[in-house]
Amino acid sequence: EFAISAVLNFDKYSNFADDLPYLGGGEIFLVNAMGGISRLTFLATQYPNNYFSFLSWSPTEEYVAFDLQNITQPNFGLSILNISTGEIVNYCIQDNWDYIYWSPDGKQIAFTRGNGFESYKSAYILDLEKNLAFKIADDATVAGWVTNQ
C-alpha cells in the first residue's frame, strides 16, 4: 500500500470524487496493490484551503507524517496521521521546508526547519515518545537516517 495526496471533486483530472463539497485543499488517500482507494483524511471540510507536503510513511506502516499548512490556522505544521483511526496530531512546528524522515524504529522523526531559502535552515529531531523536538544542527539539512547494521 502507499499513500497519495489528491484534490477532491476535480473530476476532469482526478478519480477521487466523493459527495463532499470541494472547499480548496487536498486529501490523503491510501491505494492498495489492486488499485483500491480509501480516503484517510477529511481536511478540506475541516480546514478549507489547506495544503500539505512531504508525506512520509512510518516504518511500522501505521502512520503518515506530513507538513500541514492552512491560511486560517497559523499554528499548523508537522503533523502525523494515524492510518487506522484517521486521527491527526499536529505538533505546531512550522517552517518545515524539506522531507520528513522516520527513524528505523518509528519513535523519532528528523526534519529540516527553515524559511525555504538558504539563509535559514536547521536540522531537528522530534521524539514521539517524549513529545519533544530539539535542534541538532544549524545551517544543516536532514538527509535521512543511518543505521549501524
pTM of the full predicted structure? 0.77
Q: What share of the chain is helix, strand, coil (3-state, %, to 5)?
A: 5, 40, 55
- Does residue 61 carry a pLDDT above 70? yes
Distance (Å, whole) CA 99 – CA 3: 15
Residue 74 has pLDDT above 70, yes or no: no
pLDDT at 67: 84
pLDDT at 19 over 90: no
User: CA nearest 25: which of 7, 3, 4?
Assistant: 7
For residue 79, give the nearest of 54, 103, 104 by alpha carbon: 54
12 compared with 76, residue with greater pLDDT: 76
**pLDDT tens-digit series, residues 83-141:** 889 888 888 776 666 788 999 999 999 988 876 556 668 889 999 999 999 999 988 88
Closest by CA position to 55, among listed 105, 90, 99, 111: 99
